[in-house]
């Protein structure tokens, strides 16, 4: 996964850290977080509309999915990657709830989902989101934020540092 030092020469901790920090890619992490949040939000909304039940644990799954996408693409080591992951996890949860409401309306009115999106009066969205909000959402959004933050950046373990000069 990381550049490993050759057996003939050892690499200093500073040089190893410099190599890892040089590989970070925040713009790619942001793009991956955005894509992961939209795709996972759409999946959550689809499950919610199909089952007629909002499964809160799927919000946590959004946090994990976004976090891993940010981590794998960004190769981040700093907390800024965690902030990106947490922000997109929250965005994915809110978007998932919004898309669920659009889906329910689409089914109820026998209208295409995309037609609802096209003709929706977006000025009513905040009110609809407030009305559909449940206190338990706070718990699941919080867990999604935690997962999005925690899994968005890599922490160098003592074992990795130990292998450096082995």
Other CB atoms within 10 A of residue 83 CB: 15
pLDDT digits 0-9 by tens, 109-118? 999 999 999 9
In a domain, 120, yes or no: yes
Q: pTM for this structure?
A: 0.84
Predicted pLDDT of residue 52: 92
3-state secondary structure of 75: coil
For residue 105, is it within any domain?
yes
Look up residue 157 and give its DSSP letter.
Answer: -
Tokens representing residue 138 in the block: 């706070």
Joined tokens for residue 106: 């689409």
| 40: in domain | yes
Does residue 2 lie within any of the structural domains? no
Residue 73, domain member (yes or no):
yes
CA-based nearest residue to 25, from 153, 156, 160, 158 = 153
How many domains are contained in the chain? 1
**What three-state secondary structure class fits 53?**
coil
Classify residue 20 as exposed, middle or buried by CB count within 10 Å of its CB (0-12, 13-18, 19+): middle
65 located within any domain: yes
Q: Measure the CA dihedral 142/143/145/147, to 10°.
A: 170
Q: Which domain holds residue 155?
A: 13-164
Question: What are 108-161's pLDDT values in tens digits?
Answer: 999 999 999 999 999 999 999 999 888 999 999 999 999 999 999 987 776 766
């Amino acid at each position: 996964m990381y550049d490993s030092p050759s057996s003939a020469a050892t690499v200093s901790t500073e040089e190893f850290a410099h190599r890892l920090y040089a590989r970070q890619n925040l713009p790619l992490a942001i793009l991956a977080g955005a894509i992961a949040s939209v795709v996972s939000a759409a999946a959550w909304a689809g499950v919610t509309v199909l089952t007629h039940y909002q499964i809160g644990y799927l919000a946590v799954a959004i946090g994990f999915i976004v976090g891993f996408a940010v981590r794998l693409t960004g190769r981040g080591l700093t907390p800024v990657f965690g902030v990106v992951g947490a922000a997109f996890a929250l965005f994915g949860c809110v978007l998932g709830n919004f898309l669920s409401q659009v889906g329910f309306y689409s089914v109820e009115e026998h209208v295409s989902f995309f037609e609802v999106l096209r003709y929706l009066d977006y000025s009513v969205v905040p009110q609809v989101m407030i009305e559909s909000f449940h206190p338990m959402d706070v718990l699941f959004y919080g867990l999604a934020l935690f997962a999005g933050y925690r899994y968005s950046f890599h922490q160098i373990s003592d074992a990795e540092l130990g292998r450096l000069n082995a």
